[in-house]
Amino acid sequence: MPLLRAGFCNYSHLFDKLLPMSEKRQYRYFDLIMAAFVAVLLCANLIGVHKVSSVDLPFYGEYIFGTGVLFFPLSYLFGDILTEVYGYARSRKVIWAGFGALIFASLMAYAVTSLPAAKTMSAEQQAAVNLIFGQTWRIVAASLLAFWAGEFVNSFVLAKMKLLTAGKYLWTRTIGSTFAGEAVDSLIFYPLAFLGTWSTEQVVAVMIGNYFIKVLWEVLATPFTYKIVGYLKRVEHVDYFDRDTNFNPFTLKT
């Protein structure tokens, strides 16, 4: 039975291609993971983006970081799980769902902060709302572009590494894809958002510091990733290999 199940999981994508669209397989947890991905993405960008914190590190001193960096890597964790279990094509749909949610949140924040305040609202309250939800279009554009590129690179690298390793050594894929995806995200976001406003030295320092926090987060989360991925593969009876996948990020076909 284990061998039969393993064989079914490894080639379950063939059944998906043979079935008509109306009979495509339905997965128990896919929608929940997609919802969690979008929720983490929105919270990290709306709640954590304005708070800057610091810790004192031995031999280094004060380490300053944006608090959102502690939670944003969760989106990469969910992205790894989606691609590893369900394949690149389904992960691509989730990335586009997150991208659309970020666009809507940005438009809503702009509308809310642009509307005139009622007389019952104090100037301090209005200023607080504008401070929390008001962002320049430069930062919004940089955030959207960085997210889109970084997530697709992360998913693409993981899918290709899975083929290269024949499905073995999951840790190499989750960490390797995060190395690549977070590098692209950081190289796009920080220069586009802050170069010219911050000094070049500060942009580089924050970019490198936050990048290593994100990658370290993924490394520390590896044992949990193994458990989640293993559980999902067992209960969903799927272990997708992207052998014939169209990696075009602009199509939603599965």
Residues 6+ apart with CB under 8 A from 95: 79, 148, 151, 152, 155, 249
CATH, residue 227: 1.10.1760
The rounded mean pLDDT for the chain is: 88
Tell me if 190 is assigned to some domain. Answer: yes
More reliable by pLDDT, 16 or 8: 16
> pLDDT value at position 20?
45
Tell me if 76 is assigned to some domain. Answer: yes
Query: Which SS3 state, helix, strand or coil, does residue 90 take?
Result: helix
> pLDDT value at position 16?
52
Tell me if 59 is assigned to some domain. Answer: no
Q: Is the pLDDT of residue 1 over 50?
A: no
Tell me if 249 is assigned to some domain. Answer: no
> pLDDT value at position 78?
95
DSSP 53: E
Tell me if 94 is assigned to some domain. Answer: yes
Tell me if 254 is assigned to some domain. Answer: no
Q: Is the pLDDT of residue 15 over 60?
A: no
- The pLDDT of 145-153, averaged and rounded, is 97
Q: Is the pLDDT of residue 161 over 70?
A: yes
Residue 95 and residue 152: Cα distance in Å, rounded? 8
Tell me if 48 is assigned to some domain. Answer: yes
Q: What percent of the chain has pLDDT over 70?
A: 90
Q: Is the pLDDT of residue 7 over 60?
A: no
Tell me if 243 is assigned to some domain. Answer: no
More reliable by pLDDT, 83 or 58: 83
Q: Is the pLDDT of residue 48 over 80?
A: no
Q: Is the pLDDT of residue 24 over 70?
A: no
> pLDDT value at position 3?
38
Q: Which domain holds residue 144?
A: 2-22+29-53+65-236
What per-residue string of b and e applies to 176-203 under the rule 16 or more CB within 10 Å gives b? bbbbbbbbbbbebbbbbbbbeeeeeeeb
pLDDT in tens, 130-145: 888 887 789 899 999 9
Amino acid residing at 185: D
> pLDDT value at position 19?
47
Q: Is the pLDDT of residue 18 over 60?
A: no
Count of structural domains, the chain: 1
213 φ, ψ (degrees, to nearest 5): -65, -45
**Taking Cα atoms as reference points, which of 179, 181, 186, 170 lies closest to residue 223?**
170
Query: Which SS3 state, helix, strand or coil, does residue 128 take?
Result: helix
> pLDDT value at position 51?
75
Residues 6+ apart with CB under 8 A from 123: 117
**Taking Cα atoms as reference points, which of 94, 99, 192, 174 lies closest to residue 144?**
99
